[in-house]
Amino acid sequence: MNAREIALLALQETEKRNIKSEQSLHRLLEKHNPGKSDRSLATELLNGVLRLRLKLDYTISRYYRHDFQKAAPVLRNILRLGTYQLLFLDKIPGWAAVDECVKLARKYKGRHIGGIVNGVLRKIASEPAPSLDITLAKEPFSKQLSIEQSHPEWLVGRWLDFYGKEKTRAMLAANNTAPLTALRINTLKTSSETMFAALKDASVTFRTSVPEQFILTKDFDACEPFIRLGLLTVQNPTQALPCLLLNPLPGDTVMDMCAAPGGKATFLAELMQNKGHIVAVDRYPNKCKKIVQRAGTLGITIIQTAAEDAKTIRLEKQPNAILLDAPCTGTGVLGRKAELRWRTSMKKLEELTALQAELLDHAAELLQPGGVLVYATCSVEPEENALQINRFLERHPDFKRENLPVKLPNVFSPMKSTSGAFLTLPGEREGFDGGFAQRLRKNR
């Protein structure tokens, strides 16, 4: 099975079964075990089509004779794969892109559909790369930008209102750019200096990030041996910020309320020098098992998992620090999880803000007096971030915003608001996802 067919099947699974694209791709690559070049191409095709789906659909609709959105899902995805190759992959000859997609169409839908794919893709290949046509140029700016940058119009409109044209354009462009992989150095097993030297010896191209135990790279495959040894962990610096804000000390009792897949819980353990106690909560036992396995690889022994609902869990001992990395729309990580842009909605946003409020209220009840609560999301939506905190403080006057008593790396300074909250927008600095974090203190 070649790269194009693997990408097609992953697109079908992601769309039909509503699963994560990376999980589907990983399973297919493991099953069919293609060569390195095909693995790379399949990843590029999958992520490229997911990111630029709206722009691809707009282009295809200009050449497809019927209502493209009513076409069979497999036909839509084959045409998207072909159009993406024709318009955005210079190294693939146009004839090869067309020919391979025709073969896929014949295999999955028959000879007649193969003829349709051949006709549409040849028309797209024979003309210059299409730009916004006259009809679209008359549409509202939000719709133009939506199709040009392939994001839902309702989301683009919100960002224009909240962040203005310049920041919105930067966010959209960042979401359509293949992100660097960020990796955290496990300071329980090695030092930054030793790890940097080992990476250079392995001919890994990387750059250092901040905090100093993070690196950014495009050579993920070359880093996998170090990940298996527990020397490196995949984690973005923006996701590390809530852990730094919580600032746990060795010996503390910490609760990670929504812990899966375990990146933050293990970083907290490293910050605590593997001394103290961490309760990592997730309602699914299989996810708790993976957290335990990850901790074991990293040499961490202080994490205890609890397969319970974070909204109702009770603990024998009140924690003096709680991290609530809440379920959210994920609009700060659309470059890394491209399909999320097509799955979120205003209804979903409203449902998640209600859930976040429930989790915050329960965290307030669980935390011991004088303790610290850090609330975080990987969203850039005000309702999930600053406005959520405002509503929480109205319900809980025994809590207050608090600045971190120790100095954070300078890179985080521009993200900080006057209220002590931190907000990162996609595209603001290389290698950083979008996200929000706020440190709160419960009165004694």
Q: Catalytic residue numbers?
A: 378
Q: Phi/psi of residue 381, each to 5°?
A: -90, 125
Cα–Cα distance for residue pair 265/300, rounded to 1 Å: 10
Cα–Cα distance for residue pair 237/376, rounded to 1 Å: 13
- With H, G, I as helix, E, B as strand and everything else as coil, classify residue 207: strand
Beta 303-306 vs 277-281: how paired, if at all? parallel
Burial 148-171 (b: 16+ CB within 10 A, else e): bbbbebebbbbbbeeeeeebbbeb
Cα–Cα distance for residue pair 239/283, rounded to 1 Å: 21
Question: What six digits make up the tokens of 295?
Answer: 């901790």
Beta 435-442 vs 422-424: how paired, if at all? antiparallel
Listing from the earlier edge strand, what are the strands of the sheet with 181-185?
206-208, 214-217, 181-185, 232-234
SS3 percent helix, strand, coil of the chain, rounded to 5, is 55, 10, 35
Cβ atoms < 10 Å from Cβ of 308: 16
Cα separation values, 341 from 49, 396, 429, Å: 12, 33, 21
Cα–Cα distance for residue pair 183/232, rounded to 1 Å: 6
CB 239 within 8 A of CB 308: no
Question: What six digits make up the tokens of 274?
Answer: 């593997």
Cα–Cα distance for residue pair 444/438, rounded to 1 Å: 19
Output the CA torsion sign for 40, 46, 47, 53: positive
Q: Phi/psi of residue 276, each to 5°?
A: 125, -145
Nearest to 71 by CA among 82, 79, 62: 79
Q: What is the CA radius of gyration of the chain?
A: 23
